[in-house]
A and B are shown apart, each in its own frame.
Chain A
Amino acid sequence: MSVQVLNSSGNGNPLTAKDYATDQDVRWCPGCGDYSILKQVQTVLPTLDIPKEKTVFVSGIGCAARYPYYMNTYGMHSIHGRATAVASGLKAARPDLDVWIITGDGDALSIGGNHFIHLLRRNFNVNVLLFNNEIYGLTKGQYSPTSPKGKVTKSTPYGSVDHPFNPIALALGAEGTFVARSMDRDPKHLRDILLAAHEHKGTSFIDIYQNCNVFNDGAFGLFTDKATKDDHTLFLEDGKPLIFGKETKGIKLDGFKPIVVSLEETAADECWIHDPKDKIKASILSGFFEYDMNQGALPRPFGIFYKNERATYEDLLTEQIEDHKKTDNTDLDKLLSGENTWEVK
């Protein structure tokens, strides 16, 4: 890690990843992608200028949601789907805290779908880490709202007929101000995205591909296996052209239609230059998901799709309160008496 260590444990020593680990045994299945995500977060946290006691992890229910028990910060393992709601209340009450939400694809997009979209709309300054394994892990292997159509699982022995969510498109549609994708198998990329997410003021959403090696092993093999990943992943960087396939291929826009070009014929700087502030382009990028679902024609983008500043809910709320403290009654006795009183003598 090349990141600078700013935080300190109070005794003059810099905090390390170990300081953020609890004494509880981590109980995920051996080989689960959750381990890597835990490690990357524990590595990133000491580099942030945030005291450990100001950091809070809030989760729902699922394998992923056990996460707060493994972080030696403040934390809450709440109920299925509601971490986003709990965190909203916490952040509204305590804007000074650094709040992280840990959720799964079932937790955030199925039972918690409503709270998820409203969190993004309100734009609380929190970070949402969606551990997306395209399956229900904790309940032992049913399809989830991100499982591809036709998925054979315990509850869909003949294949699922559900059309899946595209989490990036959903987050953009819900007015998210920071929308990104990363994966458990690329620690460096994940750390960079975590840092960028934390830095963003507003709700930062990261769709993290996470391998459930017990119930959905290899779901993201196309993007992680040596043999296929170069041709199927596209790493987005601000101001850089969209190129992939070991710099042999690029993406150009034909009207609104993205097409793959060979870099032997087209120069890299003639390709689509990534601008995470451009919401229309972000939504075209989010649509790569459909293309490759249907035809495998386009690579899957990773990185920051969209990022834009918008006032946060807690700032607006605090501002309104401060304004009214200046102009309105602040005397409890006056409030209790109201404007129309009379006396019985």
Chain B
Amino acid sequence: MKEININRSKKEVVILFAGDSGDGIQFTGGQFTETVELFGNDISTFPNFPAEIRAPIGTEAGVSGFQLKFGSVEVFTPGDQYDVLVVMNAAALKVNLHNLRQGGVIVANISGFDSKNLKLAKYIDDENPLTNDSLENYEVHAIDISKLTKEALKDSGLSVKEIDRCKNMFVLGFIYWMFSQSPDNTIKFIQHKFKSKPEIADANTKALKTGYHYGETSETFTSRYEVKPAPLQKGKYRNISGNQATALGMVAAANHNNFELMYASYPITPASDILHELSKHKSFGVKTFQAEDEIAAVCAAIGASFGGSLAITGSSGPGIALKAEAMGLAVMLELPLIVVNVQRGGPSTGLPTKTEQADLLQMLYGRNGEAPMPVFAAASPKDCFDTIYEACRIAIEHMTPVVVLSDGYIANGAEPWRFPTSKDLKTITPRRPDKTDFLEDKFLPYERDEHEVRPWAVPGIKGFEHRLGGLEKELRTGNVSYNPENHQEMIRIREKKVNDIALDLPDQIIHRGNEGADLLVLGWGSTFGSIERAVKDLIEEGISVAHIHLRHINPFPKNLESLLRSFKRVIIPEMNRGQLSKLIRERFLIDAISVNKTKGIPFSVEEIKQAILKHQDHVSTSA
């Protein structure tokens, strides 16, 4: 028996599981996630699907990945560079090696590196990276996973194909061993999942255990890693992805406040999962409407809103472009509506499976005429819940369409979520029409309260019959009006209504660091994790830097300007060409510096640190 020490205690580890789409990579990653969550680690995960649905097996285009970072400290992102790269074939190594840190661990399936696979992965002259010296700088564990799994399951009675499908469980077992995690949770899961097929359940369990024992008995390893539980806030947790959180936020807003939820959408990556998730919750009275196109979807939502539903439409860049005209209609009608944009790389079809934040100005301005709409952005997977819930409240209480921005990164990414109970949810109170909304016996659908909110009168109520429409409205009566003074006044009112929403929203907080620091990193949306981590690390190193993250982009928080002015310099990292910077410069005449990245992948923590250090240097030398 060899000596194995758990001598490599780690604060954080980044793992990438990679292989063919058919290798069960997402399942493997999902199981590992569940296990370490139960153990008490903090974690952030990100699946990376190939762009093609069924790319040829063994090729680079067909590689699917599941990245995760787990730790004994608070984890903000799925990580920059991998510490451990698990590859089921040559193509998976080829496309991911560049992101493995020097000295990192490679766990490779040898039979995925036969001459056929090497050819498919386009290794020159079928040169095998596992046997030449190219991986010298890494700790390589080449294991014949396929063969070992086959051997372990030779008496299982399963077909060759079925046995081969169990090899991901071997890998998982091995990785559990490597990180001193118990395979029990996954065994329980497998037994439950394949309840009706005990031979499959047993085979998977056996493969898992074989992988685990392999770690123990093989000579390859002399040490295991250990990542201690993280000091998380007390409470009950679950794992949640951004799209799931968005969907649940919608159901919660409707259910808790006795609205019927109508979600109208047309499939598009990466927004579709919201539709998929909602369509499961029929028992909550959720009505999902898969429309014939995005225009129909937003229009159906407007119809449902007129009918009194909490009406939501969701899409991604190109689909949102199609909705623009109807969003303007919603501005004119002054009906509650939420438009979710799960952004992706653009323009046009762009990079459908990659992330970007380049639709901000489209959401703010992409309509004809003066058509202001509140724009909120979610910062992380779990933040999608609070953001959409708040958007629903604002839309209903202020009678306005509201935009919610998410993106492919947080939509598909997942993290532990200390979920609320229904008691924690805010009450949403619509402004219903009453006696004050009448001129003699005539109902005034555009009578307003002090915040310019008009009443929501739903068809079916006697005495409140009225007509809405896209033509300009006369003050109070809502009748069609071409009067020049009236039009100018209505434009002013619609703008004030949206601006007044700032009074109903919390003040901006500083997420990390102090007011008056040398440098502020101002962010919005999915850059939250990278910025937060970079700023945290640099503050610990004694750098004078702070982080403010905006959820409310229109209207801006009341105190934002004074906060911003307290810093010597403001930098704004964005996955676009500087859209929030434009807004900040235009609104406050603050000389904010834009830090851009448009590669379809999120900022790494390192990139944000570099940007901070570069500009921080500038501040201290010029001061």
Q: What residues of B have a CB within 8 angstroms of the CB of A338 in the complex?
A: 238, 240, 419
Closest chain A residue to B185, Cβ basis: A340
B285 pairs with A321, CB closer than 8 A: yes
Number of residues from A at the complex interface, CB < 8 A: 59
Comparing A31-39, A152-160, A325-333, the segment that makes contact with chain B is: A325-333
Q: Which of B235-257 contact A (CB under 8 A)?
A: 235-240, 248, 251-252, 255-256
Residues of chain A within 8 A (CB-CB) of B419 are 336-338, 341
Docked Cα-Cα span, A283 to B308, in Å, equals: 40
A93 and B309 contact, CB distance less than 8 A? yes
Residue B439 at the A interface, CB < 8 A?
no
Among the 9-residue stretches B208-216, B459-467, B543-551, B568-576, the one with 4 or more Cβ atoms under 8 Å from chain A is B459-467
Majority DSSP secondary structure for residues of B touching A: mixed
From the candidates A54, A92, A323, name the one contacting B460 in the complex (CB within 8 A). A54
The listed residue (B239, B470, B471) touching A340 by CB distance below 8 A is: B239
Q: Could you tell me the distance in whole angstroms from the C-beta of B597 to the nearest C-beta in chain A? A: 33
| Binary contact track B398-432/A, C-beta < 8 Å → 1, others 0 | 00000000000000000000011110000000000
Asked if A345 is an interface residue, CB under 8 A from chain B, the answer is yes
What class of interface size applies to chain B in its complex with A?
A: 35 or more
- B304 located at the interface, meaning its Cβ lies under 8 Å from any Cβ of chain A in the complex: yes
Say whether B584 faces chain A, with CB atoms less than 8 Å apart. no
* Chain B residue contacts of A341, Cβ below 8 A: 236-238, 419
Known: A10-B462, A328-B282. A88 touches B329 (CB 8 A): no
List chain B residues, Cβ under 8 A from A323: 282
Q: Which of A273-328 touch B at CB < 8 Å?
A: 317, 320-321, 323-325, 327-328
Does B535 belong to the interface (CB within 8 Å)? no
Q: Which residue of chain A has the shortest Cβ distance to B385 in the bound complex?
A: A336
Question: Could you say which residues of chain B place their CB within 8 Å of the CB of A72?
Answer: 465
B residues less than 8 Å from A329 (CB atoms): 283
Q: A274 CB to closest chain B CB, in angstroms?
A: 33
Question: Are B462 and A89 in contact (CB-based, < 8 A)?
Answer: no
- Within 8 Å of chain B (Cβ to Cβ): is A73? yes
Complexed CA–CA distance, A341 and B237 (Å): 5
B237 engages A74 (CB within 8 Å): no
- A90-B304, A92-B300 known; A75 vs B251 contact (CB < 8 Å): no
Q: A236 near B: Cβ within 8 Å?
A: no
- Complex Cα distance A88/B420, Å? 34
Known: A76-B468, A76-B469. A94 touches B282 (CB 8 A): no
Partner of B296, one of A68, A73, A75, A118: A118
Question: Which residues of the other chain, B, contact A24 by a CB distance below 8 angstroms?
Answer: 479-480
Number of A-B contacts (CB under 8 A): 202
Chain B 291-331 near chain A by CB (<8 Å), digits 1 or 0: 11101110111111111110100000000000001100100
Does B232 reach chain A (CB closer than 8 Å)? yes
CB pair A342–B37 under 8 Å, yes or no, is yes
With A58-B303, A89-B304 given, is the CB distance from A328 to B283 under 8 Å?
Answer: yes
- The answer to whether B460 and A78 touch across the interface, beta carbons within 8 angstroms, is no
Contact B462–A85 (Cβ < 8 Å): no
Determine whether the beta carbon of B296 is less than 8 Å from that of A330: no
When the two chains form their complex, are residues B40 and A93 in contact, meaning their CB atoms are under 8 A apart? no
Which of A24, A58, A94, A321 gathers the greatest number of chain B CB atoms within 10 Å? Answer: A94
Q: Is A335 an interface residue (CB 8 A)?
A: yes
CB of A336 within 8 A of CB of B421, answer: yes
Say whether A52 faces chain B, with CB atoms less than 8 Å apart: yes
Instruction: For the complex, give the distance between the alpha carbons of A324 and B283 in Å.
Output: 5
Cβ–Cβ < 8 Å partners of A96 in chain B: 460
**B20: CB under 8 A from chain A?**
no
Per the 8 Å Cβ criterion, residues 55-94 of A in contact with B are: 56, 58, 61, 68-69, 71-79, 82, 85-94
Q: Which residues of A contact B291 (CB under 8 A)?
A: 85, 88, 118
Q: Are A333 and B237 in contact (CB under 8 A)?
A: no
How far in angstroms is the closest Cβ of chain B from A106? 16
| Contact call A78/B465, Cβ cutoff below 8 A | no
A17 at the interface (CB under 8 A from B): no
Contact (Cβ within 8 A) B422 A336: yes
A118 partner, pick from B262, B292, B422, beta carbons under 8 A: B292
Complex Cα distance, B252 from A68, in Å, reads 35
Interface centre among B234, B260, B295, B296, by most A CB within 10 Å? B296
Within 8 A of A (CB), among B5-43: 34, 37-38, 40
Q: A51 near B: Cβ within 8 Å?
A: yes
Please tell me if the beta carbons of B234 and A336 are within 8 angstroms of each other in the complex: no
- The docked-state distance in angstroms from the alpha carbon of A86 to that of B298 is 8
Contact for A73 among B283, B465, B470, CB less than 8 A? B465
Is the pair B470, A92 in contact by a Cβ cutoff of 8 Å?
no
Contact of B467 among A53, A76, A114 (CB under 8 A): A76
Report B186-208 residues with CB < 8 Å from chain A CB.
Answer: none
- A176 nearest CB across to chain B (Å): 16
Kindly state the separation between the CA atoms of A56 and B284 in the bound complex, as whole angstroms: 27
Q: Are A53 and B461 in contact (CB under 8 A)?
A: yes
Contact of B470 among A78, A97, A330, A337 (CB under 8 A): A78
A115 at the interface (CB under 8 A from B): yes
> Does A343 have its Cβ within 8 Å of any Cβ on chain B?
yes
- A320 to chain B: closest residue by CB: B282
Our pick among A76, A332, A333 for the contact of B333 (Cβ within 8 Å) is A76
Q: Which of A99-154 contact B (CB under 8 A)?
A: 114-115, 118
Q: Does A1 contact B (CB under 8 A)?
A: no
* Nearest CB in chain A to that of B254: its residue: A332
Asked if A88 and B40 make an inter-chain contact with CB atoms under 8 angstroms apart, the answer reads no
Minimum C-beta distance from B592 to chain A (A)? 37
A22 to B480, CA, bound (A): 13
| CB–CB A92/B471 < 8 A | no
Known contacts A74-B459, A325-B285; decide if A114 and B469 are in contact (CB<8 Å): no
A268 to B307, CA, bound (A): 50
Q: In the complex, what distance in Å separates the CA atom of A96 from the CA atom of B38?
A: 48
Q: How far does the Cβ of A27 sit from chain B's closest Cβ, in whole Å?
A: 9
In the complex, how many angstroms separate the beta carbon of A339 from the nearest chain B beta carbon?
A: 8
Instruction: Determine the chain A residues whose CB is within 8 A of the CB of B132 once the complex forms.
Output: none
Where the two chains meet, the residues of B that have a C-beta atom closer than 8 Å to any C-beta of A are 34, 37-38, 40, 232-240, 248, 251-252, 255-256, 260, 262, 264, 281-287, 289, 291-293, 295-297, 299-309, 311, 325-326, 329, 333, 419-422, 459-471, 479-480
A-B contact pairs, 20 of them (CB 8 A): A24-B479, A68-B469, A76-B306, A79-B299, A85-B291, A85-B295, A89-B303, A89-B311, A93-B262, A93-B311, A94-B307, A320-B282, A328-B283, A337-B419, A340-B239, A342-B37, A342-B236, A343-B235, A344-B40, A344-B235
The interface of chain A, by Cβ under 8 A from chain B, is 10, 22, 24, 51-54, 56, 58, 61, 68-69, 71-79, 82, 85-94, 96-97, 114-115, 118, 317, 320-321, 323-325, 327-330, 332-333, 335-338, 340-345
Q: A89-B301, A94-B309 are in contact. List 19 more A-B contacts (CB 8 A).
A: A52-B465, A74-B467, A76-B306, A77-B469, A77-B470, A78-B302, A79-B299, A82-B299, A85-B299, A88-B291, A92-B289, A114-B293, A118-B291, A324-B282, A332-B251, A336-B248, A336-B252, A337-B419, A341-B419
